Amino acid sequence: MLPADRLYKNTASFSSCLMLYTLYFVVLAGVLSLLTCWSPPPLGDDNEIDYHEQDVSSWGQSALQQMVAWSWRSWTGRRHPIFDPPKRHGYFIHITDLHIDEEYMAGSNVDTDCHRFGSKSAITQSAGLLGTPGAKCDSPIELAEKTLDYISREWRDKIDFVVWTGDNSRHDWDKKYRPRKRKAIYHLNERVQQMMQRAFWPTARDPRHIPVVPTLGNNDVYPHNTMGSGDDEADLLQFFSRLWQPWIPTDQRATFRQGGYFAVNVGPRLRVLSLNTMFPCT
């Protein structure tokens, strides 16, 4: 039986070691949780992330991230899953023609492009809460938000990239009372860009970088179906260059500002061209 003083010293030593190990694991767990939220860097001058590279240094980890990776490997015998090359699914999603309309009002008269209420006797059909199929009305904001939220929740972990072919702004059907303006078109595109970024940006649940390939739609320009000329065209392409910066490779941005088109690698041996089809219409 140990003397009381030795027993006390051994207990204190054990408690100190236990506290140190507990602190180590708490810090490690905290760093790993931050690491899980870390997203790969944006596409650089080489136009893509190297999906083949097995070395964690190719992902540009900081010294702290590499230290955590070493600790994880030491304790578990394998790499942290954040450093594994992205799994390829062989599927992509095509999103187009959202045509969001901030002027849309549920319950309004569809004969007013779902913009105004009328007398009950004059209403032939009322606008629905989440859109009015078959009517000459564009999409309420809620429809676009719920659609992209569903895609993000149910499909983002099953796809490799997204093709987004524009027409985000509403049509210019209500010219007499609520004509479209350039500023409004830009604003609607900004709203859809925020939805797309929220839907496909890396998250703690799915930290992959999912490439999104945006393209101009004929209703995303002013006037519609035309690129304009001179300063108008330069302003348009400058705006979309800034708006789509998360998805246009750095070495392609000058090309986009000049012509509205670019190319991006979305996976191993797979390159997508985003064409500007407005030029043939102009």
pLDDT tens, residue by residue, 231-259: 778 899 999 999 999 999 999 999 999 99
How confident is residue 85, by pLDDT bands cut at 50, 70 and 90?
low
**Once rounded to an integer, what is the mean pLDDT over residues 114-137?**
84
Backbone angles phi, psi at 102, to 5 degrees: -70, -15
**Once rounded to an integer, what is the mean pLDDT over residues 111-128?**
81
Spatial distance between the Cα atoms of 186 and 222, rounded to a whole number of angstroms: 10
- Say yes or no: domain 90-101+138-274 is CATH 1.10.1740: no
Domain map (residue ranges) of the chain:
90-101+138-274
The secondary element (H helix, E strand) that includes residue 94 is strand 92-95
- 165 pLDDT more than 80: yes
CA 252 to chain centre: 19
126, β-bridge pairs: 109
- Averaged pLDDT of the chain: 79
- Highest mean pLDDT of the ranges 24-33, 57-66, 108-117: 108-117
Spatial distance between the Cα atoms of 44 and 216, rounded to a whole number of angstroms: 22
Q: According to the model, what pLDDT value does residue 121 have?
A: 55
Establish whether the linkage from the previous residue to 223 is cis, with ω within 30° of 0. yes
Spatial distance between the Cα atoms of 162 and 132, rounded to a whole number of angstroms: 26
Q: According to the model, what pLDDT value does residue 48 have?
A: 41
Q: According to the model, what pLDDT value does residue 276 have?
A: 93
Distances (CA, A) of 178 to 35, 49, 143: 48, 45, 21
Whether residue 217 contacts residue 95, with contact meaning beta carbons closer than 8 Å, is answered with no
**Once rounded to an integer, what is the mean pLDDT over residues 180-201?**
95
3-class secondary structure, 125: coil
192-220 pLDDT, tens digit per residue, is: 999 999 999 988 777 888 999 999 999 99
Token pair, residue 243, equals 């708006």
Higher pLDDT, 6 or 98: 98
Whether residue 172 contacts residue 221, with contact meaning beta carbons closer than 8 Å, is answered with no
How confident is residue 183, by pLDDT bands cut at 50, 70 and 90?
very high
Spatial distance between the Cα atoms of 234 and 251, rounded to a whole number of angstroms: 18
29-64 pLDDT, tens digit per residue, is: 555 555 444 444 444 444 444 333 333 333 344 455
Q: According to the model, what pLDDT value does residue 265 have?
A: 95
Helical H segments across the chain, by residue range: 4-37, 63-76, 141-154, 182-200, 231-243, 253-259, 278-281
Distances (CA, A) of 261 to 23, 35, 215, 273, 278: 52, 34, 8, 8, 10
Q: According to the model, what pLDDT value does residue 187 have?
A: 97
Parallel, antiparallel or unpaired: strands 161-164 and 92-95: parallel
